[in-house]
């Protein structure tokens, strides 16, 4: 499988991974943008937050794009992730100025090497593969969060609890954001393919997003 990832794709994935991780770090430190109040943080705390961001975003973002890629390959097409420098700039600017995450540093481009054209159903299934992976990834991060002791442990600084909570939130953000039925996002293609699947998926994605930012939602499972 890994041999199907080109050097250029590896580079683009790496740049996008670092950029989106830094965007999440910025939002953690200045949730209302650089003009608003910053959350006090020590250099060690900043490094720890960056490390958590790199791990969780790395898993969430890379597996999201690889889900698109290998689903497309399953249908007989070729696909590669390509970073978008304009999107990277917009993502960084929004994170710094207003504390908003624009989780679209690029896209997986599908190449029709068969000559038969990509059907609406295939395009929808390729598109939904990414958000579904993120929703599934919430499950192991919930387990990590609970093993770490839940919300109180995360607040008190337990690394496992913080890692688990960040993983839940980041995967929920990426899933929900990408299911919006606008522009080049996955939701628009899923909507075009199957509206029932779209409705169920976006409800689950935004439900997970709301739950991930609601105190004690997952701690109550302890």
For 136, the token pair is: 């599934």
Phi, psi angles (nearest 5°) of residue 121: -65, -45
Tally of residues, the chain? 222
Q: Which helix (H) or strand (E) holds 111?
A: strand 106-111
Q: Find tokens 């909570």 and name the residue.
A: 165
Residue 61 Cα distances to 66, 67, 178, 220, 222, angstroms: 9, 10, 11, 28, 28
In this structure, are residues 95 and 32 in contact, taking their beta carbons and an 8 Å threshold?
no
* Catalytic one of 3, 65, 80, 121: 65
Burial class (CB in 10 A: 0-12, 13-18, 19+), 214: exposed
- Is 80 in the active site? no
Rounded Cα distance, 46 and 73, in Å: 39
Active site residues: 65
């Amino acid at each position: 499988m890994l041999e199907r990832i080109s050097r250029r794709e590896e580079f683009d994935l790496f740049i996008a991974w670092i950029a989106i991780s830094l965007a999440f770090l910025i939002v953690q430190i200045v949730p209302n943008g650089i003009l608003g109040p910053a959350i006090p943080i020590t250099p060690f705390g900043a490094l720890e937050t960056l490390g958590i961001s790199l791990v969780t975003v790395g898993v969430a973002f890379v597996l999201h794009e690889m889900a698109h890629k290998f689903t497309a390959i399953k249908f007989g097409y070729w696909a590669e992730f390509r970073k978008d420098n304009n999107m990277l700039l917009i993502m960084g600017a929004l994170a710094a100025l207003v504390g908003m995450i624009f989780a679209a540093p690029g896209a997986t481009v599908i190449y029709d090497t068969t000559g038969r054209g990509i059907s609406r159903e295939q395009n929808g299934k390729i598109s939904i593969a990414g958000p579904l992976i993120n929703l599934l990834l919430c499950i192991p991060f919930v387990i990590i969060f609970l093993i770490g002791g839940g919300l109180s442990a995360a607040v008190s600084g337990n690394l496992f609890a913080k890692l688990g909570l960040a993983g839940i939130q980041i995967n929920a953000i990426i899933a929900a954001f990408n299911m919006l039925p606008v522009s080049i996002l996955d939701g628009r293609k899923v909507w075009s393919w199957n509206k029932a699947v779209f409705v169920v998926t976006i409800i689950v994605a935004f439900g997970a997003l709301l739950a991930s930012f609601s105190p004690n939602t997952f701690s109550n499972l302890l």
